[in-house]
Structure 1
Amino acid sequence: MQAKAVINKDFTVSTVDKRVYGSFLEHMGRAVYSGIYEPGHSSADENGFRRDVLDYVRDLDMPIVRYPGGNFVSAYRWEDGIGPREERPVRLDLAWRTRETNQVGVNEFSDWAKLANTEMMLAMNLGSRGLDDARNFLEYCNHPGGTYWSDLRAKHGYKDPHNVRIWCLGNELDGPWQVGHKSAAEYGHLANEVSKAFKYFDKTLETVACGSSNDKMKSYPEWEATVLDQAYDSVDYISLHKYFGNEENDTLNYFAKAIDLDRYIVTIGGVIDYIKAKKRSNRDVKICFDEWNVWYHDRKEDGERIASWNWPEAPALLEEVYNLEDALFVASLLNVFIRRSDRVKIACMAQLVNVIAPILTRTDGPAWRQTIYYPLQFASKYGRGTALNVATSGPTYNCEVAQDVPYLDISAVLHEGGKSIAVFALNRSLDQSLDLNLALQGFSGVTIKEHTMMAEDDLRAGNTVDNQNRVQPRKGSGLQIDDDGNLVGALAPKSYHFILLSVSMA
């Protein structure tokens, strides 16, 4: 099979916001307790944070992490997680039917975020609570001092404000499963009032309104239209969530589900444009895709466990073991975010540790990287700059999800200074190599600086506690620059490629 692609230095999409490579930590399962925080662990620092996990997070160059939920936040009292640990109450978490000890709260998360070299993205409870609690939370986190809440923060050992710049206005409040579920009109009014209040405090703060929990909701996309009709002038982002899986055991159909993500973004982009035109506004609301990942391997079984258990403390939950097939699919989702970087400015892989996560740990044991860790790492480290428009032609296939699905999935990012280009390419074919010819118009002196790939005969191969490096990137081969300055060569079946090109502007 042969595929052609063309990039031109003058045909760009948008600057890729580095926050599109973010993640998410919820008080759910072992994401926090024995995930990032385990005081008795051999690698724990003086604050109880696992250094082995921190090393893996820093290696992701993670720009932003959303916290503390998720469904958890819709009944959460942030005040429970501040002050002396021995005085913090134990609460029932209605979202996951567990006991929450509150040994980690906003101050500890701030400490961890600094160690992880990441920015905090805080979510507030707009399910069971409202405006007053939200503004108190903001004052506690961001005001320098001289008021009740800011002085209380100083009393707790944090004289300097946390200076959180971006705030989520609740979580999935379109969902009937959510504590404090609201209609779109109810929620839109509340989100607008909270966002306005936050910007009375500091007009440079950014706020994220809840969009649809997924694109299969009956209220989608009317929910977004109603919410934005009320809150467009005050919010900066509308959030979207979507999880994917290969429940049909059909790999080509699974790979094509990246097109569903693209459709979702395009649809909500259209809703945003409609409301902008309706309001004769000059503002641009962007998309924050703050929950996305593969989630299906144990989803049904975990749902049954949650319904049956009796309020355990930090139980193992949703600890998906990912394989190469999942890694290739995650790479294609990241390509969508790059290609739609004009719309999507923030995205959070859900979640970061243990719970549907790129990093797994064992309590009192090791931490290791899952297969999906690597495409996120390459995108985060090298997918920053200006997204280039990649025009492609080549063989396609049909499946249940979509028709004319290209075997070649590709994105490209021109780095600042114009001296290098990162190319992220996937061959979706299960049994045929793909001869690629990528023309680079407007560039000269093209050389391959780095080529790394992920490919295995067994798509079900994954990394486990007993074989932590079974699947990992390796040095790529088979690509070269021809006499015309084009990138040419064969992409192996079911393979992912990161190619770093050194270039000069022609």
Structure 2
Amino acid sequence: MSRARVTLDRDFVVGEVPPRIFGSFVEHMGRCVYTGIYEPGHPTADAQGYRGDVLDLVKELGATVVRYPGGNFVSGYDWEDGVGQERPRRLDGAWHTVETNAFGLHEFVDWARLAGVEVMEAVNLGTRGVQEARALVEYANHPGGTELSDRRRKNGHDEPFDIRLWCLGNEMDGPWQMGAKTADEYGRLAAEAAKAMRLVDPSIELVACGSSNSGMPTFGAWEQTVLGHTYDEVDYVSLHAYYQEHDGDHASFLASAADMDYFIESVVATADAVRAKGKHKKRIDLSFDEWNVWYATGKNTPDQPHVIERAGVWREHPRIIEDEYSVTDAVVVGTFLNSLLRHGDRVKIANQAQLVNVIAPIRSEEAGPAWRQSIFWPFARTAALARGTVLRAAVTSDRYDTARFGGVDLVDVSATWDEERGRVALFLAHRGLDDEAEVGVDLRGWAAGRVTRAEVLAVPEGGDRHTTNTQDAPDRVGLAPLDGVRAEDGTVSLRLPPLSWSVVELEVTLA
């Protein structure tokens, strides 16, 4: 039996829960768009071709903002190809596919409104530049009376799209990126694009590209240089990170959030150093606009891009990185959500990548029903219940050793307080594979009342840590009641099964 003690004080807070940290990502990659959110002729599709079964699951997932159209795809994308009646077929070099452009900006904005999500639009600063970025803002956001805004109206949207969030390119430090640049090259371009875009619409919020991951050789120096050019022009700097289990090292994989914590705190420190050096008054916040578990070896990816390329074949929306997520993956995703909440004072936007089929919480097949992957559940419950204020949880936990991160807590925790509803929510991940964890929670400033929700995702009966949901067995991994939670006065006690993610919500009154 392992043990952990959590102390929550209503006066010790991180800040307000940022609604935009429950974001997602739709890229023109594999089957995320086509047969994902868009499949004319599907039994559940509406008149515009949007899949109703997927749309229902997106709403259940609770995504608040969705980044579009990429990703690597955007660095070779001409936005004009996806608007109007005549849409050319193009080769997409990012994923070695044929892009039909049947789905573009208008379709995405309409879908986003149906899904109840905010649009986060990315501009191409790889193969294009300042003028194209400025033109896209005018097309999307200007009311009318100019050639570009009137073109939007002619194409079916009389009212502006009113897109607030804009990404200034994607992963521009990566040698895999079309139009990759040095930090100075990108910083200058991003600053000029930002100024031009804001001259069209001063109300927009802008995200500069940070490092593609914390392992990049230029990490830290890249952020310092880019923000040196762009600090006064942008509002956020981006982070991207993907994790997987390497060579059976489950202990390090389950502790991956330690790297996410390090990544976030390092970028915060760098941004604040640039602020101090430049004597800037405002503070740059973070947009963790790509994160997830990704088995980059091509698991469940029969049509890998490099195989297609060698064969000289260009296909429309082939299967690419359609990972099937396990119990283990769901627990890790739960710890990532905890990390984002714990840093909610600086991480204001976060997007799990991606939404459907491609490394996604939702899977679909042509003509068949959509289903939830294991990682759907931690995201959906955290998005639904993390309201109000993020609490600064003091955690004392038994620890275990990892090859990559040294000693790490067995029990990982975040917590929120919804003062309006009188609820405290606890989100707990137990990384141990063998023993239960006994957890005690001390509440300071509250008296505990009724437990309103207690659920757990763990290894199902007859399964193991690798168990997944599939089209034929869509409910093998899911949430079940967490029994034995006791709340009285200022304490809560509970037991967590091995390798599990849990949520406990309880009514509280001020003491």
The TM-score normalised by the length of structure 1 is 0.98
**Aligned-pair distance for 1:250?**
2.1
2: distance between equivalents of 1:465 and 1:287?
36
**Residue type matched to 1:76 in 2?**
Y
1:499 is matched with which residue? 504
2: distance between equivalents of 1:354 and 1:493?
29
Written as runs of structure 1 = structure 2, the 5 A alignment for 1:236-255 is: 236-255=235-254
Structure 2: where are the runs of 5+ without partners?
none
Moved over 6 A (4+): none
Q: Does 1:229 align with 2:228?
A: yes
**Aligned-pair distance for 1:247?**
1.9
Q: Does 1:318 align with 2:312?
A: no
2:218 is matched with which residue? 219
Q: Deviations over 1:188-238 (max 9, x none)?
A: 011111112222223221000000111111111110000000101110000
C-alpha contact (below 8 Å) 1:240/1:290 kept by paired residues: yes
Written as runs of structure 1 = structure 2, the 5 A alignment for 1:450-465 is: 450-456=453-459, 458-465=464-471
**Residue type matched to 1:355 in 2?**
V
1:475 is matched with which residue? 481
**Aligned-pair distance for 1:489?**
2.3
**Aligned-pair distance for 1:298?**
4.5
1: distance between equivalents of 2:338 and 2:455?
16
C-alpha distance 490-55 of structure 1, shift in aligned 2 (>3 A) = same
C-alpha contact (below 8 Å) 1:41/1:364 kept by paired residues: yes
Structure 1: where are the runs of 5+ without partners?
none
C-alpha contact (below 8 Å) 1:418/1:505 kept by paired residues: no
SS of the equivalent of 2:320 reads coil
2: distance between equivalents of 1:297 and 1:25?
18
2: distance between equivalents of 1:337 and 1:219?
23
C-alpha contact (below 8 Å) 1:319/1:355 kept by paired residues: yes
SS of the equivalent of 2:315 reads coil
C-alpha contact (below 8 Å) 1:420/1:503 kept by paired residues: yes
SS of the equivalent of 1:398 reads strand
C-alpha contact (below 8 Å) 2:141/2:201 kept by paired residues: no
2: distance between equivalents of 1:364 and 1:319?
17
C-alpha contact (below 8 Å) 2:96/2:305 kept by paired residues: no
2: distance between equivalents of 1:39 and 1:210?
35
**Aligned-pair distance for 1:40?**
1.3
Equivalent residue for 2:433, pick from 416, 430, 435: 430
Q: Give the alignment's Cα RMSD to 1 decimal.
A: 1.2
2: distance between equivalents of 1:204 and 1:255?
41
2: distance between equivalents of 1:370 and 1:449?
25
Written as runs of structure 1 = structure 2, the 5 A alignment for 1:33-432 is: 33-84=34-85, 87-296=86-295, 298-299=297-298, 302=304, 304-309=306-311, 310-417=313-420, 419-432=422-435
C-alpha contact (below 8 Å) 2:95/2:305 kept by paired residues: no
2: distance between equivalents of 1:412 and 1:459?
26
SS of the equivalent of 1:53 reads helix
2: distance between equivalents of 1:201 and 1:382?
38
C-alpha contact (below 8 Å) 1:330/1:375 kept by paired residues: yes
1: distance between equivalents of 2:339 and 2:411?
13
C-alpha contact (below 8 Å) 2:24/2:353 kept by paired residues: yes
1: distance between equivalents of 2:247 and 2:485?
34
SS of the equivalent of 2:323 reads coil
**Aligned-pair distance for 1:297?**
6.4
C-alpha contact (below 8 Å) 1:418/1:503 kept by paired residues: no
1: distance between equivalents of 2:71 and 2:387?
27
Written as runs of structure 1 = structure 2, the 5 A alignment for 1:430-449 is: 430-449=433-452
2: distance between equivalents of 1:184 and 1:354?
33
1: distance between equivalents of 2:475 and 2:296?
20
**Residue type matched to 1:114 in 2?**
R
2: distance between equivalents of 1:354 and 1:234?
35
Count matched residues. 503
SS of the equivalent of 2:227 reads helix
SS of the equivalent of 2:316 reads coil
**Aligned-pair distance for 1:306?**
4.5
2: distance between equivalents of 1:490 and 1:322?
25
2: distance between equivalents of 1:297 and 1:71?
15
2: distance between equivalents of 1:418 and 1:158?
39
The TM-score normalised by the length of structure 2 is 0.97
2: distance between equivalents of 1:56 and 1:62?
10
C-alpha contact (below 8 Å) 1:245/1:295 kept by paired residues: yes
2: distance between equivalents of 1:174 and 1:278?
23
